[in-house]
Chains A and B, each alone.
Chain A
Amino acid sequence: MSALFFLALSIAYYLGATGIELYPGDEEELINAQTFPKFIGVMAGIFSFLILVLPAKGEEEKIDWAGFDWVRPVLLCALMVVYGLTIKWPGFFLATSFFLICGILVLGERRWWAVLVASIPVAAAFEFILAGLLDIYIEDPFVIWLGL
C-alpha cells in the first residue's frame, strides 16, 4: 500500500517537475531547473515500482493496527494545529499554557497540581527567559494587556 502511494507521489512529482517554468533558452542547457527534479521523479518511481512487484518481507503485515491508541495522537495533532493558530493571538503565554494543560489532560493526567505545575509556570518561565533574558521579541497581546 505504501509503495502504491509512493508510486502515485512519484508520478505527480514528475508531472510537477515538467511544469516548472524555465527561462527562454534554458531548455537547451545541459542542466536546468527541471533536470534534477525529473531525475528524482523517475528514480523514485522505479524504486516504488520495485517495492510493489518484488516479494514483500512481511513487515507491513506485522503492524498491530488495533493495538494502537489512535485517539490521543489525533487529539495531540489537533492541539498542535490550534497552538499554531493561537500563538499570535491571544499570544504566546495563553496559547502555550492552553496547549500544555490540554496536552497533559489528553494523555491521562488527572492530578490538578501536576497539570498546573507542568504548564503555566513552564509557559511563564519560558517567556521570561526569551523576552526578559535573551531579549527575543515575542508577540503577546495578553502580556501587553496586563501591562507587563
Chain B
Amino acid sequence: VIEGILIGLTTALTPTNLMMVVVGCFAGTFIGMLPGLGPISAIALMIPITYGFDPSTGMILMAGVYYGAIFGGSTSSILINAPGVAGTVATSFDGYPMARAGHGGKALAVAAYASFSGGTIAAIFLLIAAPALATVALSFQSSDYFALMVLGLTAVSAFAGRGQFLKAMLMVFLGLGLATVGQDTSSDVTRFTFGSIDLLDGISFLLLAMAAFALSEAIMTVLKREKVSEAAVQAAAGKMGSLKVTREEAKIMAPVIGRSSVLGFFIGVLPGAGATIASFLAYGMERSIAPRGEKEKFGQGSLRGLTAPETANNAACSGSFVPLLTLGIPGSGTTAVMLGALISYGVQPGPMLFTDRPEVFWAVIISMYIGNVVLLILNLPLIPYIARLLALPSQLLVPLVLFFSLCGVYLVSFNTFDIQMMVAFAVGAIALRLFGYSMAPMILGFVLGRMMEENLRRALEIHDGYNFLWERPLTLGIMILTAIILLAPVMQWFKARKSVATAGEGG
C-alpha cells in the first residue's frame, strides 16, 4: 500500500496532473453551478478533451471535475435553492434558509469544510478498502462478474426512488438493448445496424452520454422556461455575508462530520445507492439523534442539517470509486461515465488495474485528496466571484453547451451522422425525462451491456451450461442478494395492498 501511495503521489504531483486537478475543480464547479447541468454532464463534456491525454491525467481531470461539480451543485443549492444535482437537494433544506437569513457566505464555508472533511476521511477509507477488495476480486471468475453486474443494475433500479423501480428497470433494458447495436464481439455477426455502415461499430458511448445528459439537460432548461432568478442576481452581486466559521460552530460540526463520513462512504460503495441516498440518510440520521432544541432548527438553517448531507455526499462520491476501481463495475451514472472514459483510453478497470496499471489506480485515489484541498483553498475564497456565473443569461449559455457537446462528439469520429444521431437521442431523452424516466440506469445498462454478455458467454463456456448460477457459491450468493433486492419492492407492494384492504374492511 505504501509503495502504491508513493506511486500515486509521484504521478498525481507532477505539474501537469496538479494543474489538471485545479482545472478540473474549477471547470466542475462552474458546470455544476449552472442550472440543469450535473456532474455526469460535466464529466461527459470533459471526455473529448481528455482523449489525447495519458489515462492517469484524464482520470485525474475527471475526478477533479466530479468533486467540483458536486461543490458547484451545493453552491447553487445554498444560494438560489436550485440544486443542479440530486445529491445536493438535502443541502438546500438548511443551506438556503441560512442564505436567506443573510448567512450565505457562512453556509458556503460550512458546506466546503464539511465536503473537504467528508472527502478526506472517505479518501482514507478508500486507500484501505480498495486494495483489499482488489486483492479479493482477483479470485473472481466470469460468472461472479456476470452476477455482480446483474446485482449492480438491479440495485440502481431498486434505489431509484418510490414508484420508480419498474421505470428504472426498463431504462436498464433500454441501455442493454442499445449496447447490442453493432457487430457482435465474438461472432462478428451484425445486430440492429439496419444495413448502416455508421452503426457497425455500435453506438458510441460518448455520443449517448452527451445526448442523454448534456444536450437533453440544456434543452430541458429552455423547454421548462427556466430563467435566472432574483436570488441568483442577488448572489451574483456578492451579497452573501462573511465566510467565517467560529470555533463553537466547528465544535458542533465535528461529530456530525465523523458520523456522516462513515455513513456516506459505505452507502457510496453500495452499487446504485450513491450521493443522493447518502445525503438524505445522513440528514435523517442527524435529525433523529439531535437534541430536542436542535431538532426544531432542522429545515430553518441548522448547522447540523447542512453539515450532514454535505459530508455524506462527498464521502459517497469517494465510496463509489471502490466498485469502479476494484471490480470494474460502476455503481452510479457518474462512475458509469468514468468507466466508459477509462475503456476509451484503453484501460480496463477491475482488480487487474491494481497490479497492471498501479499509477492510474493510485493517482486517482491521491488526486481525490488533492481535489478536496483545491476546493477548500482555491474555490472557497473565489466563491463570491464564481457565483456571478449564476446570473449568466441562459440565452448565451445554452447554445454554447450545445455547441461543445456536438463538437465533442464530432471531433472524435469526424462523422456527421453522429451529430444527427445525437439530436435523435437527445429528443428521445427529453421525452423520457418528461415521462419520469431517469437516464442514469440507461447509461449504466449501456456501459455494462457488452461486458455482461461477454462474461455470460465465458461463464457458459467454462461451466458448459447455466449450472454456474447455483454451483459456484459466490455467484449463487450474489444472485440471491439480487433476487432479494428485486423482490423487495414486490413485497412492499403486496404489504401496502394488504394494509389498504384491511383498512377498507375496518372502515
Pick from A36, A44, A76, A126: contact of B174, CB below 8 A: A44
Task: Take A67-B225, A81-B420 as given contacts and tell me if A54 and B427 are in contact as well, using a CB distance cutoff of 8 Å.
Answer: no
Contact with B along A93-134 (1 / 0, CB 8 A): 000100110011001110000100011001000100010001
Q: What residue of chain B has the Cβ atom nearest to residue A32's Cβ?
A: B187
Q: Which residues of A contact B461 (CB under 8 A)?
A: 30
Contact A99 B225 (CB under 8 A): no
- Least CB distance, B245 to chain A, in whole angstroms: 38
Q: Which residues of A contact B410 (CB under 8 A)?
A: 84, 87
Say if the beta carbon of B407 comes within 8 Å of chain A. Answer: yes
Q: Which residues of B contact A76 (CB under 8 A)?
A: 219, 222, 398-399, 402
Contact A80 B400 (CB under 8 A): no
Q: Which residues of A contact B187 (CB under 8 A)?
A: 22-23, 26, 32-33
Say if the beta carbon of B457 comes within 8 Å of chain A. Answer: yes
Contact B222 A69 (CB under 8 A): yes
Q: What residue of chain B has the Cβ atom nearest to residue A67's Cβ?
A: B225
Q: What residue of chain A has the Cβ atom nearest to residue B432's Cβ?
A: A2
Task: Take A44-B177, A77-B423 as given contacts and tell me if A118 and B396 are in contact as well, using a CB distance cutoff of 8 Å.
Answer: yes
Pick from A2, A13, A54, A68: contact of B224, CB below 8 A: A68
Task: Take A36-B180, A122-B400 as given contacts and tell me if A73 and B222 are in contact as well, using a CB distance cutoff of 8 Å.
Answer: yes
Which of B109-117, B355-363, B433-441 faces chain A?
B433-441
Contact A108 B223 (CB under 8 A): no
- Least CB distance, A92 to chain B, in whole angstroms: 9
How many residues on B have C-beta within 8 angstroms of the other chain's C-beta atoms? 60
Complex interface residues of chain B between 384 and 432 (CB less than 8 A to chain A): 393-396, 398-400, 402-403, 406-407, 410-411, 414, 416, 419-420, 422-423, 426-427, 430, 432
Contact B423 A104 (CB under 8 A): no
Q: Which residues of A contact B456 (CB under 8 A)?
A: 31, 36
Say if the beta carbon of B306 comes within 8 Å of chain A. Answer: no
Q: Which residues of A contact B174 (CB under 8 A)?
A: 6, 44
Contact B406 A50 (CB under 8 A): no
Contact with A along B180-196 (1 / 0, CB 8 A): 10001001011110000
Task: Take A33-B187, A60-B436, A87-B410 as given contacts and tell me if A47 and B169 are in contact as well, using a CB distance cutoff of 8 Å.
Answer: yes
Pick from A16, A83, A107: contact of B192, CB below 8 A: A16
Complex Cα distance, B169 from A72, in Å, reads: 32
Pick from B177, B403, B432: contact of A40, CB below 8 A: B177
Say if the beta carbon of A70 comes within 8 Å of chain B. Answer: yes
Contact A80 B180 (CB under 8 A): no
Residues of B within 8 A of A (CB): 52, 162-163, 166-167, 169-170, 173-174, 176-177, 180, 184, 187, 189-192, 219, 222-225, 393-396, 398-400, 402-403, 406-407, 410-411, 414, 416, 419-420, 422-423, 426-427, 430, 432, 434-437, 452-453, 456-457, 460-461, 464-466, 493
- Assuming A13-B192, A84-B416, A118-B396, what are 19 further A-B pairs, CB within 8 angstroms? A1-B435, A20-B189, A33-B184, A33-B187, A36-B452, A40-B176, A44-B173, A47-B169, A60-B435, A81-B420, A81-B423, A84-B419, A84-B423, A103-B399, A107-B399, A109-B393, A109-B396, A118-B399, A122-B400
Residues of A within 8 A of B (CB): 1-2, 6, 10, 13, 16-17, 20-23, 26, 30-33, 36-37, 40-41, 43-44, 47-48, 50-51, 54, 57, 59-60, 63, 67-70, 72-73, 76-77, 80-81, 83-85, 87-88, 96, 99-100, 103-104, 107-109, 114, 118-119, 122, 126, 130, 134, 136, 139
